[in-house]
Amino acid sequence: MATPRIPATLIPGDGIGPEIVDATLAALDALGAPFEWDRQIAGLEGVKSAGDPLPAATLDSIRRTRLALKGPLETPSGGGYRSSNVRLREAFQLYANLRPAQTLIPGGRYDNIDLVIVRENLEGLYIGHEHYIPIDDDPHAVAMATGVNTRKGGRRLLEFAFEHAIATGRRKVTIVHKANIMKALTGIFLETAQELHERKYKGRIEMDSVIIDACAMKLVLNPWQFDVLVTTNLFGDILSDLAAGLVGGLGMAPGANIGADAAIFEAVHGSAPDIAGKGIANPTALLLAAAMMLDHCRLNDAASRLRRAIGDTLNVDGIRTGDLGGSANTGAFTKALVSRIANS
């Protein structure tokens, strides 16, 4: 019996985006993944072709499929353009940003890292409520920003984090906050986590908490003490990049933005226009994002095969791109990966 097709939006993106997307599609085809792609544009390509970094056709496609895989997008400078990534999160209420960090290449400064950071994606200090107050002849004499966290938004994110942790066999959830100083803005997040855990998750999974600055230090000194870190928008943005640094950088860091209306999977690194078209880009982050997408669609066997093939290509075959100390170009890495998948 044929596997039902799964409609999904594909956004190749800018810079190296099309190259790493092609590599990822080759791997997914080798797996027999049943995605039915609707190819759309965004970012700089959207501005060039449709006059908008997030064209209406792209939004309509995601509304229809509720599932997307995207390469890195470049936000055009000037012209009042807002980040396409932020607009996507807002348009589809993608409240949970899931950022795993797992060691793929052993023997580095940190080894056997296996962390997940769950970041609230829509609230906090990133809502963009900012303004200047002019004094005398200085129009920017005072800068002010307002952060907003809601109990409803915090609870929604925290429930997702607890459920994800339990479903994936994790042992502990750590709430990261700054409630000792930002008593209202992050205190409401900590308080909501404590109430929710007591009422619904106590006995099912362990929970503790840590102040953000101490957490950053502990991640450097002993990252193995953490399992799932759950935090607000700004702190999650910083910690997820810190965690990526523990496993080799953003080239090894996939991301998922998950909400009530859609799920979008991505490589979190930039579009790297300086190496675009040279065929040397590392597609690992987007490949790992595709594995997360397979898990989201309950195609867990295919996700496991893909992750295992990536690990074997890197470590057994020793085929790595230049950023990982190897000499393989994107095409050679992809060919070796597809061969691994075919034989798995």
Catalytic residue IDs: 126, 178, 213, 237
Nearest-5° Cα angle at 253, 185 to 204:
60
Task: Single out the residue of 105, 193, 98 nearest to residue 154, CA to CA.
Answer: 193
Task: Single out the residue of 256, 255, 257, 248 nearest to residue 282, CA to CA.
Answer: 248
Question: Are 153 and 95 within 8 A, CB to CB?
Answer: yes
327: burial class by Cβ within 10 Å (0-12, 13-18, 19+)?
exposed
CA–CA separation, 344 and 342 (whole Å): 6
CA–CA separation, 77 and 51 (whole Å): 14
Question: Are 103 and 214 within 8 A, CB to CB?
Answer: no
Question: How many CA atoms lie within 13 Å of 15's alpha carbon, on the beta-carbon side?
Answer: 21
Local structure of residue 15 (DSSP, 8 states): T
DSSP labels for 67-129? EEEE---PPPSSTTPPPHHHHHHHHTT--EEEEEEE--S-SSSS-S-EEEEEEE-SSEEEEEE
